[in-house]
Structure 1
Amino acid sequence: MRGLTILSALAAVASAQKVKVLPLGDSITDICCWRGFAWAEIAKAGLADQVDFVGSMTGIQGRCNAPSGFDPNHEGHSGWQAYDIARDNIAGWMQQSKPDVVSVLLGTNDINIGKRDATTIINAYTSLLTSMRTANPNVAVVMSTIIPMRWDDATAAAVNKQLPAWVQQHNTTQSPIYFADISRTTGFTTDMLQGDGVHPTIQGDQIISNHLAPLIIEAVTQLK
């Protein structure tokens, strides 16, 4: 019995030493495949045993590649908007999961469902960041642009145009922000979307991972 207690204690210590990464998003994080690709890159970098994906959601779509040892936890919620998450959810999720790193891929539903303008979406990002830093003043954030879509791409482009300046304004040494530009200018095209014009194909998911995974790895490495 004592041996089991010691083993449990060691396992708890090992878990506590892992860098907690919270993939935060909507259905592009929930039901699409980039998390599997990103985990494969984390494993390739030799960090799989040092990273813990966290969040109240779990799983990955059957069509997605789930690499060996894949950690399925995340905070991707289909149909949810940055505005609502900032107002109602992020503070509780931060307290529950206590992440060291948060990757943010939000804004698509603010445009398609909420019909929000670029300024409102940028303000929602600021509210998200404030809540993250209230919960963890040292949190590292991987901030992504809104991926292209076939419908209201003009609003997404307006948000994305403002994001580099937003990142520069809010970036700090204590709580760094890493900027992921997943846009037409960096290789993501609407040909990489499924028939609904919003969700990425496997090719699109790979592009998302190509941009997010290196930044997640960099953030984790800086925290080790």
Structure 2
Amino acid sequence: MSDTLSRDDLWALAHAERAALADDLAGLDAAQWAQRSLCGRWTVEEVVAHLTAAASVGRVRWLASVLAARFDFDRHNDRRLAERRGADPAGTLERFRRVIGSTTSKFGPTEAWLGEVVVHAQDIRRPLGLGRTPPVGTVTPVARFFAGRDFTVAGRTAVAGLRVEATDGPFTAGVGPLVSGTMLALTMAMAGRAAYCDDLTGPGVPTLRERCAA
């Protein structure tokens, strides 16, 4: 699938996922905005602000920010997140809506930035019990990218020595003990989200779960 998708195609998928997430966020109450996400220490609102920052900061500014943070990427991310957060959740959502159609990104393949939207959207949806699942055709190029290299996430390392197979799409990779599940569950596990290991089956799951926890 990813072999047939152009850069423009991948950005169109990212834009669709941003729009779908914005729609999901529209009905949240204050407690839901403050809910802890799957993304470490960030709340739902902070993850949204991070996505806005990611769609707003180009290569030159990103590099300047990283240098100013002395390559402390947590500090860099926190500064850019704070910059894009609104005065309240409604303001944060409005800022996110403004970048739905953005193609701004830092260095790297477009699959990585589609993956950022897919993963962070689920970082928000799962704790909130929001049921939307991205289309298999959207997640497939992300799964293939994550399995093929360590870039924004350590996906290749996560599945090294394992055989991963999607039950709902054309994705397979690797050789070793089997891990099977939906395209989304495999992708989220490769992104280090241990909660999604609960959705996977096969003798390789304990190994993958241990790597997610690490």
Q: Which structure has more RCO (C-alpha within 8 Å, separation ≥ 6)? A: 1
Would you tell me which structure has more strand in proportion to its own residues? Answer: 1
- TM-score scaled by length of structure 1: 0.28
- TM-score scaled by length of structure 2: 0.29
Would you tell me which structure has more helix in proportion to its own residues? Answer: 2
